[in-house]
Chain A
Amino acid sequence: MAQLFFGYFAGVIAITSVLVVALRNPVYSALSLLIMFFHVAGLYVTLHAEFLAAVQIIVYAGAILVLYLFVVMLLNVKQDDRYHGQWRIAAFVCVPLLLELLVLLASGGAAQSGLLPAQTAADTADNTLAIGTTLFSTYLFPFEVASLILLVAMIGAIILAKRDFPERGEM
């Protein structure tokens, strides 16, 4: 049963992620990315990360993707987008990585590394409670830094997108 779910989610994630890159129209790309986000959230549920699944849907699918669609429709992008002349570099980077992946697969994908075996004991009943406790005790300082990052991004976005920016020399 678990394998069935994993196979479904993994298959859809792989196909839609290829579609994001392959489709010409940015709106279609964004919509297939939306499908991928939902299936990643499903994968999180099967991994007992229910809080992250909810956050994934709310933040990624609800906020980030809507922002993308806003900009795509605001800019009224024509689909004259042909592929870049850089595809040789892309092949040079990705073909070795893909070969490495295939070699690893061929040499027994389930080769158990020196990782700890999964302990099934600490299957937390309340994922959100556990994450909250961890976040506000061990990771309190990174949490504050994350809020600072959000503040900087907010100010930066407003300043960058403001229309009547004081002239500071022609670009």
Chain B
Amino acid sequence: MTIPVSYYLILSAIVFLTGVVGVLIRRNIIAILLSVELMLNATNINFVAFSQHLQDLGGQVFVFFALTVAAAEVAVGLAIIIALHRSKDTINVEQFNLLKW
């Protein structure tokens, strides 16, 4: 008994929407990065589900690359957060308006 691929799409849509809402409504910059991780995982679920559905390993290889990029993103993002916290003593995104017009 196999699961139809649409179920996986619905699951990943829910997770992705949660991530979008998190990016838009949270003020804590760490919570925003966590929401980005949620979105990346939602796309990964899609990739793996279609890889199984179409019997093509390309999807799994792409998840591998997405994971690499996620690791790079976390390393650079957290370094930026530390630098921001050092300069402003806060991680509330509303305090960072230097580049805002």
> How far apart are the CA atoms of A134 and B35 in the complex, in Å?
31
In the assembled complex, which residues on chain B have CB atoms less than 8 Å from the CB atom of A84?
24-27, 93-94
In the assembled complex, which residues on chain B have CB atoms less than 8 Å from the CB atom of A48?
52
CB distance from B27 to the nearest CB of A (A): 5
CB distance from B35 to the nearest CB of A (A): 6
In the assembled complex, which residues on chain A have CB atoms less than 8 Å from the CB atom of B11?
10, 13-14
In the assembled complex, which residues on chain A have CB atoms less than 8 Å from the CB atom of B19?
17, 21
Asked whether A125 is an interface residue with its Cβ less than 8 Å from the other chain, the reply is no
Q: Is the CB of A134 within 8 A of B74?
A: no
Q: Is the CB of B83 within 8 A of A161?
A: yes
CB distance from A104 to the nearest CB of B (A): 8
In the complex, number of A-B residue pairs with CB atoms less than 8 Å apart: 222
A contact residues vs B (CB 8 Å cutoff): 1-3, 6, 10, 13-14, 17-18, 20-21, 26, 29-30, 33, 36-37, 40, 43-44, 47-49, 51-52, 55-56, 59-60, 63-64, 67-68, 71-72, 74-75, 77, 80-84, 86-87, 89-90, 93-94, 97-98, 101, 105, 109-111, 115-116, 118-119, 121-122, 124, 127, 130-131, 134-135, 138-139, 142, 146, 149-150, 152-154, 156-158, 160-161, 163, 171
Q: Is the CB of A81 within 8 A of B15?
A: no
Q: Is the CB of B25 within 8 A of A3?
A: no
Closest to B94 in A: A84
Q: Is the CB of A1 within 8 A of B68?
A: no
Closest to B18 in A: A17
> How far apart are the CA atoms of A142 and B28 in the complex, in Å?
34
Question: Which 5 pairs, one residue from A and one from B, show the smallest C-beta to C-beta distance?
Answer: A153-B72, A90-B24, A21-B22, A160-B79, A81-B28
Count of residues in B whose CB is under 8 Å from the partner chain: 71
Identify which of B28, B52, B83, B85 contacts A118 (C-beta below 8 A). Answer: B52
Known: A110-B4, A118-B55. A67 touches B74 (CB 8 A): yes
Q: Is the CB of A68 within 8 A of B74?
A: yes
Q: Is the CB of A26 within 8 A of B48?
A: no
10 pairs across A/B with beta carbons < 8 Å? A14-B11, A14-B14, A20-B22, A33-B38, A63-B71, A74-B82, A75-B82, A109-B4, A124-B57, A134-B58
Closest to A40 in B: B41
Identify which of B37, B51, B65 contacts A64 (C-beta below 8 A). Answer: B37
Closest to A43 in B: B45
Identify which of A18, A89, A109 contacts B6 (C-beta below 8 A). Answer: A109
In the assembled complex, which residues on chain A have CB atoms less than 8 Å from the CB atom of B83?
160-161
> How far apart are the CA atoms of A43 and B82 in the complex, in Å?
34
